[in-house]
Each structure stands twice: as C-alpha cells, then as structure tokens.
Amino acid sequence: MNHSQNISPITCAELEWQQVDGVDIPVSKQFGDVYFSKANGLLETRHVFLNGNDLSERLAQLADSEQFIVGETGFGTGLNFLALWQLWQNVRPNNNSRLHFISVEKYPLSKADLARALATWDELAPLSKRLLESYPFALAGCHRLSFDDERISLDVWFGDASECFPLIQNNHPINAWFLDGFAPSCNPELWQEQIFKHIMRLSAQGTTFASFSVAGVLKRALQSYGVEITRSKGFGHKREMLKAIWKNTDDQIQNDLKKHNQPNTQEQNHQKHTIQKHYSQKKTAIIGAGIAGLTTAWTLAQRGIAVTLYEQEQPLAGGSGNPLAMLNPKLCPMDKVATHLMTTSWQYALRFYQQFDAFQAMQIEQTHDTKSNEKKINDVLALQDYPNDILEIIQSESGHHDTEQSTVLLKQAGVISPHQFAEQVLAHPLISLIQKKVTQLKVCDDQKIHLYDQEDNKIEELSDVIVCNAMDLNQLLSNTPKLKPIRGQVTWTNIKGTDLNTPLENDEKNTAYSFGGYASFMQNNQTQQLIFGASFIPNDDQTDLRIEDHQHNYELLQQYQPQLAQRINDDPEEWQGRAALRAQTADYLPLVGRYDRISPNLYIFSGLGSKGFLFAPLCAELVVSQMLNEALPVPSNLAYLLRPNRFKIKP
C-alpha cells in the first residue's frame, strides 16, 4: 500500500434543472444524466435499493448491538441515504443495533443545490434538514456524520472512487451495496475492475448487491468473484434491475483480495478477535479525564456503552484545563486535505462541538509572519484554492500580499469553554468518574485487563482500557513511545473600563486572533477579559506561574495585535494565568489506536501536543471505531501513521 496516497481536490457538481410535472430534476453537466428517475426518484430508490437488498426484513432482525453497513458508489443528492434512514426509523428493533452508511462522490452537490434537489420530497423534510445541517465542506476525504439519537451514521467520501475506495478500511464487512451512480454508458470510470476489487474487498459471504443497471460490465465484474446474479423487474419503464448475493466466497478469491487490504495484517487479526464481543459484555475504562479522555467517553456513551473515567486529580487538571480553547488549524494545501490530520480534525471538530453549549462559532484572523520567506508566502498563497465560505486571504490596501506578514481570515472556526464542556460530558448517564490514580495495568491470559492503585490494590477487571493520561503514559506503561513535556503558560486579564454591562462590538465577540500565539475575548464572572498566550518551552516539566512567561505572552500580543494590547493593563503583577504541560511525540502526531504490543484490548490516545481540542474528537472516533470493529473515520494511511506502535522502543 502507498502510504502517501491521497485524493485529488474536489470540484462541485455542475447542474442543469429540468421541470417535470412541477418537480425540479437535477441533471449532471459532467455526465449528461439525471440524478434520479423522472417518474419518481424516491419510489425508484425503495424498489431498487431497499427492496433489492431485502433491507426491511434484514434491518428488523438485527440483534442487540449488532451493526449493519450499507455501501454506495455514488452519493449524489443523498436520496438513497435518506430513504434508508426513513426505512430504518420504521423497522429498527428496540435495542442498541446500529446502521452505518458509506458512500463515495466525485462531484458533490453544493449545499444550495442539495437543498433544492431534496425539497421535492416533503415526507423526507425532517431528515433532509438534518443532513443539510451537517453537510460537509466540499473538501476531499472522509466526512463522518453521526446521528447518534437515531443510531445511524454516514461516511461520505468526497473524491474519485478509484482514489477513495483503496483508502477505506472497514473492520466489519459491508452487508449490502447500492451500486448507484450514473449509467455505465455515461460514467464508465466508476465501473472499472480496480474499483470492483475494493468493493469485493470490503464485502464478505452474505453481502448483497442491487443496481438499476444490468449492463454487461457490471454483471461480468460481479460474476468473476462468484457473486450470484438474478434479474428482477425494474422500476417504471425499466424492464430489469440487478439483484445479487455473494453466497460462497472462494478461498483463492479471498486471498487475492487480501493483497489489496490494509498493510497491518496483525491489526486485522485483532479486529477479528474483537468482532464477537457484545456491547453489553464490554466493561470499559478510560484512564485520564483530559480532553482525550472526555471526548472518548462521550463517543462511547453515544454508542450506548457505559464507561468509567479514572482521574487522579480532577477533570482537565492537565494541559486541557485552560479557561478557553481555540479551534485554530494550520490548513494544508488542497491536494493534501484528505490525509492531513489537522485539516480533517478541524472539519470533524466543528460538527462535534456544535452539540455542546460550551462551543461558540467564531472566525479567526490568522497572522502569518512571512518576512520575505518564500516558503511561508507560498504556504499562505496555497490556501487561495479553498472555497470562499471557508477562508479569505486578506490583502493589503495596495492589493498585494504583504511580504512581512499575511493575514488569513478563517471563517469556520470557534472557541470552547473546557470546564463547561466537561460538565456536560460528565452529566451523561453512561459516564461515571472515579477519582483514583491507576499505577499499574496487568493483562491476564483471557486478555482481561486488571487495574491497580498506589497500594497495589486491584481496582477493577475490564474487557477494554483506553489510556488517555498524557505525560503519565510513560509511567503507567514503560514500553510506550517517549513523550516530551512542553510547558505552556496562558495569560488573562480584564479589559480596561468594561464589565458585562459594557458589551463588546459584534466583530469583537465573533473574532479571535492567531499569530504564533493566540488571543480571544471571554467573559469571566462579571468582567470582560482578554485571554492570550501561550508560552512554548520544550522539556520544561514545571507548572509554576512565571512573570517572564506573562511578559513573553504580552510582547507577542504587542507585536502582532497592538490594538488588543492597548486595551489591557500592562502590569503583569495584576494578571492571572495558568501553566500546564503538553505531551508531545517525536513526530508531532498523536498516538491513537490499539496497542497490540501489550494487548488487543488496550488502546492509547495520547501525545496531542498543543492541538488537543482540535485533534481529540476525530481521534476519539478513530479509537472507538477500532474498538467496536466499525469502519474507520479516516483514510487507512492516516490511521496507519497514527498507530501507537509506529516507534521502535528501546529495551
């Protein structure tokens, strides 16, 4: 597998609209074909894809905690997904079963076009509204949308199928396929042999397939893998449709398909080890209640799994406990978006935090100190390819980019109040917090994990443990990658002459600042304050409050945001602050996933550095997806880069 493989930048669909009996029918300019039947797109979806895969019966029979995965070859207007969601609402059993949908789309519709297309079906309006609210940016890669109250989730991959399918890693076979997309005569690239190899790689014995098309290229491709095909009555004027099942999978075919699988075969074997574990049998603990532990606990609880958090002090005692946290990514060029952790994490984090009162959407002025540095100038200019609703490069009055510094206005960002976030997480009925230091972890022959306290007393026996304890990781597990401490001190103080009765201007309330450091307005008790910082001192493991760190933060603020520096008292003796340690890996990527050097039931989520609140939601989703044997929410090569056992450990 090529670990540098990526997905090309996205071009949105170009549409024409046809009126048929008062209904707007979208037509693709790229392919010259309609997105759904002019007769009735919703009825066609039900007939071909839902009935063609016998989904009413199969979904209704799901056992408690069983998951069912549907794959699709063209997301289009999302009509198939919404029709499936509607069916799921009607037939899903009253247990903790879950439905997951994976789809690929080379030319995603704009949000406005999507809304217009879906407005046709009033009966789907509540579901269409929720899809539109979560609809991702037109950026390449995997976008996971979770609707946990409905026990349904969606991975929509934006990109060419030939680039996306090789990067999809599922640890549970896809149960049913919607072989959709434009007709083979209009879009032959979608029906290539290399794409079918990955469709079959992601499938297993018992997987079913349905398609409106009975084209020879489709039938021959499926039959070459031993898939049994029947032709049923098509929808409307179409005489036939395809219905198929993979009944008997030949060993040689399976072996050939494994060659196209992910590189970490040991990981795959451990996934098979865990596939039979029932949710209700899981006894799960998380060690550490910082942002990593809290987001992981929430993600598990949203799946219906009870979890215990062990924390030696109080939640957010470490690097996550500042008064305010900012979602402030350094975005990559568009051709690297799909596998760039910071960019993918930022998109997921925006959706994740919006469900919490602790989040405030905000734009960020990012000042880049270019100083005639050609590389830095080019890094900023590379951002011009992002859609204008995401960011804007602010030019000087002369119309040219300043050679000393450049400003990027990131329009999609925000800030989080960490302690308010923690309160909401810990209020979840499936999350419990125990204040106790875990000092030892032992794995038994049956792979159960035992936790011990400082007095060597056994605390609990568990089926799964996720270690999220930042700098304490190396003490608890001696044979883990070495983490480096980075001291950071943040400063906050009152704004001159204001209180809560002196409201900030709208642009001040809705704007934060990034300049190597960061600054944001915040409310604290009855005062308006400015929080700014933070110092960055590698290999300093002390957390005492220092005047010199305050001065460093203020000098940085004066240099890049002098108008903000003028609004606060310049006496550091009157300032408040907090110092904490960030845990950093040698390659600056966090440790995320199963740590099979010790146990297939042990997971590590640590080393987030200074981007904890940005990385945590997506990385938590990745850990939980591995643990529950779900499809991964990131490209397989990115998950591979984050694996905790990527480093050689010195004896």
Q: With bands split at pLDDT 50, 70 and 90, how would you rate the model's confidence at 399?
A: very low
Task: Evaluate whether 176 touches 208 at the Cβ level (below 8 Å).
Answer: yes
> What pLDDT is stored for residue 570 in this prediction?
87
Tokens of 157: 């991959």
Q: How far is CA 80 from the centre of its chain?
A: 22
Rounded to an integer, the average pLDDT of 423-442 is: 97
pLDDT (tens digit per residue) in 112-155: 999 999 999 999 999 999 999 999 999 999 999 999 999 999 99
Q: Please tell me what DSSP assigns to residue 608.
A: B
- pLDDT value at position 513? 97
Spatial distance between the Cα atoms of 121 and 85, rounded to a whole number of angstroms: 14
**What mean pLDDT comes out for the span 294-322?**
97
What's the first-to-final CA gap in the chain, in angstroms?
A: 30
Whether 604 contacts 592, CB under 8 Å:
yes
Beta strands in 234-314 (DSSP E): 240-245, 284-287, 307-311
Residues 16, 117: Cα–Cα separation, whole Å: 11
Tell me: pLDDT of 265 over 50. Answer: no
Nearest alpha carbon to residue 21 among 3, 46, 39: 39
Q: How far apart are CA 247 and CA 414, in angstroms?
A: 50
Cα gap 616→610, rounded to integer Å: 11
- Write the burial class of residue 54 (CB in 10 Å: 0-12 exposed, 13-18 middle, 19+ buried): middle
Q: Write out pLDDT tens, residues 480-528.
A: 999 999 999 999 999 987 665 666 777 778 999 999 899 999 987 778 8
Q: pTM of the entire structure? A: 0.95
Where does the pLDDT of residue 254 fall: very low under 50, low under 70, confident under 90, or very high at 90 and above?
Answer: low
Has residue 161 got a pLDDT over 50?
yes
Q: What are phi and psi of 281, to 5 degrees?
A: -85, -15
Q: What percent of the chain has pLDDT over 70?
A: 91
Three-state SS at 501: coil
Burial class for 607, CB neighbours closer than 10 Å (0-12, 13-18, 19+): buried
> pLDDT per residue over 217-242, tens digit each?
899 999 999 999 998 898 877 889 99
Say yes or no to pLDDT of 400 above 90. Answer: no
Q: Smallest Cα–Cα separation from 490: which of 539, 448, 546?
A: 546
CA Rg value for the chain: 26
Strand (E) or helix (H) holding 643: none
Average of pLDDT values for 549-568?
A: 95
DSSP 203-219: --TT-EEEES---HHHH
H or E segment and range at residue 195: helix 193-201
Tokens 């079918």 found at: 196
Report d(CA 492, CA 435) in Å as an integer: 29
Cα–Cα distance for residue pair 98/92, rounded to 1 Å: 9
What was the pLDDT predicted at 346?
98
pLDDT in tens, 3-62: 678 999 999 999 999 998 888 999 999 888 888 888 899 999 999 999 999 999 999 999
Per-residue pLDDT band for 264 (boundaries 50, 70, 90) equals very low
Reported as a single tens digit per residue, the pLDDT across 368-379 is 888 767 888 888
SS (H, E, C) 123-150: HHHHHHHHHHHHCCCCCCEEEEEEEHHH
414 versus 400: which is more confidently predicted?
Answer: 414
Place of tokens 């009944």: 247
Q: Where do the DSSP E strands lie in 390-474?
A: 391-394, 406-416, 431-435, 440-443, 449-452, 458-462, 464-467
Phi, psi of 216 (to 5 degrees): -60, -35
Residues contacting residue 459 through CB under 8 Å, at least 6 positions apart: 310, 436, 438, 450, 451, 452, 453
Can you tell me the distance from the alpha carbon of 65 to that of 589, in angstroms, rounded to the nearest whole number? 32
CA dist 325 and 359 (Å) reads: 10
Q: If 0-12 CB within 10 Å is exposed, 13-18 middle and 19+ buried, where does residue 410 land?
A: buried
- As a 3-state breakdown, the chain gives helix, strand, coil percent values, each rounded to 5, of 35, 25, 40
Average pLDDT, rounded, for the chain: 91
Pairwise CA distance, residues 489 & 549, whole Å: 6
Pick the range with the lowest mean pLDDT from 210-219, 251-260, 326-335: 251-260
What does the pLDDT average to over 580-584?
Answer: 97
Model confidence at 275, in pLDDT bands (50, 70, 90)? very low
